[in-house]
Structure 1
Amino acid sequence: MKKIIIAVMMCAMLAVLAFANGAKEEDNGPITLVMWTHEDPNRQKLEEAWAAEYMEKNPHVTIKYSVYPSTKIQDLIPTAYAAKNAPSIWNMELQKAFPLLAQGLVAPVDPEALGLKKDSEIIDQYMPNMLAPVTDKDGSLLGKKGKVYGLPFELQNWCMYLNKKIFRDAGLDPDKDYPKTWEDVMAVSEKIVKRNGDIITRRGFDFRYGDYLISWVPMVNQLGGAVVSADGKEAIVNTGAWEKVLEYMRQWGPNGKNLGSPTYTAARKQFDHNKNEIAMHLSGLYQEARMLKANPDFYNSKDWMIIPYPVFKGGKNLANCYYFQYYMVNSQIPEREQKEAWKFVAFLLSHPTVYLDKVALIAPKKELVESAQFKKVPYSNVFIEDLKRAEPVYYGAASWQINELIKEAVENVMMNNVSPKDAVAKLKKSAQAVLDEQM
């Protein structure tokens, strides 16, 4: 009987040792991180090289890096979450990412993975309020007071790029006649535009169609309108402001003065080619790096400049919204993989000056925006000055749904001759329904 007891004890001990060894092997076993991000050839080249370097230093890690068009990734990631197959690491603009964060699908940042002790130390590395949109300040978001849920690699606001040569060709002095107001934008565009029949062959300016919360809603804000009231209960505040800006778009489109529309090639792409197709467009500082790659002769010339975001006459002095691209980590993957994912993200973000130099991306770390290198970037001062009179992009659990409703309203007015009043009435009703669903 004694032999049997000893044998049982030995088997139990062996089982415990085997379990411990298995756990140890599991802790040190291979990890595969899947990363999805939006396409940017300059950034992709850098990040793929850094991924290779990280894997060389950490042989247990495999990183699968994929890029998608920014217009597609916003649909791919929610679909992947629904299928329980979302990537380990991903990024989208704040207003598109926040609904997923609000659903608890994003893992909190691990301070230890960044070599820090607590979340407040993460926040201290950045410019004021840069992490506020992804911080559960009082625990009301996800029940984890003070936790941070994303790390920004890109802070952007959009200013207006201007082709001086086209201005001169239209008899305008770019240094004196550049538009300060939206009324000026329309008047200047009427002098610059060229057409073949009804087809525009040269535009003065055209909008960033699609990302309306960023590029277009600030025009409404200038006239006193808002996407959502301060208490978060009312959608499409001050309908008169919305109607005025939609009337501006009606006049802008093919059924008005025929100065532009969503049917034409994206303005920022045509601008970089410098083929006498468009004089002005909206974009961020990152567009400089894209211009340099697409057309170095134009970039190195003195034929372009950047001017502040226009304001309606009599309107509030508000610039274009600023928005963020945050790297986020999937909360559905094992905790060990989450920790490794944050380590890799921290490794990527340890290169802020390289992102600036090669991609013209502003990582909103104090060390970068206060550096001499940042101040040397052409027209970086215009972006920083506009940032001082800007508000963050609207974000909420229904932000992207509301963006799509605004898109419908704008484009119906421009393309389908829907009256601004009717478009706003429908927008308010639909946006309110979406907002009520989230309460």
Structure 2
Amino acid sequence: MSDLLLTGVTWYDTDGTARHGDIALREGSVTEVGRVEDTEGLTRHDADGLTVLPGFVDLHTHLRQPGREDAETVRSGSQAAAVGGFTAVLAMANTTPVTDTAEAAEHVLDLGRACGLVDVVPVGAVTKGLEGAELAELGLMHRSRARVTVFSDDGHCVADGRVMRRALEYVRAFGGVVSQHSQDPALAGPSACCHEGELSGRLGLPGWPPVAEASVIARDAMLAEHTGSRVHVAHVSTAEGLDVVRWAKARGIRMTAEVAPHHLALGTELLGGYDPVYKVNPPLRPSEDQEALRAGLADGTIDAVATDHAPHARHDKEHAFVDAAFGMLGLETVFGVVHDLLVASGRMSMADLARVMSVAPARIAGLTGHGRPLAPGEPANLVLVDPTATVTVDREASHSLSRNTPWHGRRLTGAVHTTILRGDVTAREGEPAPC
């Protein structure tokens, strides 16, 4: 750990007011903000023109280890996360074996600590083997060293209402949350891979209707109200689903929601060439859904942006569209995508971006050391970004082991410059620290 002096930075108070000055970091914490009087022992880090935000927190990351180390490892995913500005990521449970026991959760935790570039927080499965029938070791995972608080069968919907009710009742006792993959399997079908509409019919691709998402969100909202527990909607993708979230919140139901960057910025028209890089679950949606999601994020109905970073080896992606694996990379590009789409366009402020990429995700996951205001005594989990930089995405430059990025060749405004975890620089100008 080195003590740092960040000079010439811009930051935001909790009320969104922009400030400018210097920041001192000592022993992993922020010690002075604004005018730093005592600079002895501090290593100067020239940050003129940069903005400092609380380090990003990703509620939805697939790190693939254990089981699919050909696609990603905790180490490579941590490197990509650090380069992308993240200080904490939640590692989803659909590994091999599934993270459905305390021992499995602790294994993921230890892999993350061995690298140390980001806080890798295990997500526990809701049901054993993600099979949707029998609850996993929810209490044991929470009481383990991993202190699991978020549970998800992501990739599979907890379709049985009785099982979902029991999960919500169980996690309520320790303040946990169930993150639901909202997809009614009876309505979407096992082969659905495209938004149901004119395009799916023309391309001959099995369609996923928006009601398959909205109906599960509505059921889970009612179950959350009945149990008094918390439910989180993973990767909401439709205007219909968003309407249900808005209704639930107005009713006082303890529901939160995330949106993935690709559902904000990419549409169904990209599927016309059958390029499997654009195959994702839930599928890309039409422009009216994208616009609804952007508005929902800006007005606070959607709480967070989550990457749904889903790396795949080439032999899993390079197939006919219907046979290819679902998923896209997202950790290294999400700041540029969200900043370019919503901040540079004036629809959101930089303080709003911090809210949806750091403050709210940390609150939802119960990560008390992340998403904190920039003030003396707070942990030095920070990211410095350059809002004026332009970057052209190159998939070959990714620190992920996989290359399935939908952003290849796109020019984005806004770039992550430096990531700091508890006072240590974990990435700078596109390169991670040794791991």
Say which one has the larger Rg: 1
Which structure shows the higher strand fraction? 2
More helix by share: 1
* Relative contact order higher in (CA < 8 Å, ≥ 6 apart): 1
Return the TM-score normalized by structure 1.
Answer: 0.23
Query: What is the TM-score when the length of structure 2 is the normalising length?
Result: 0.23
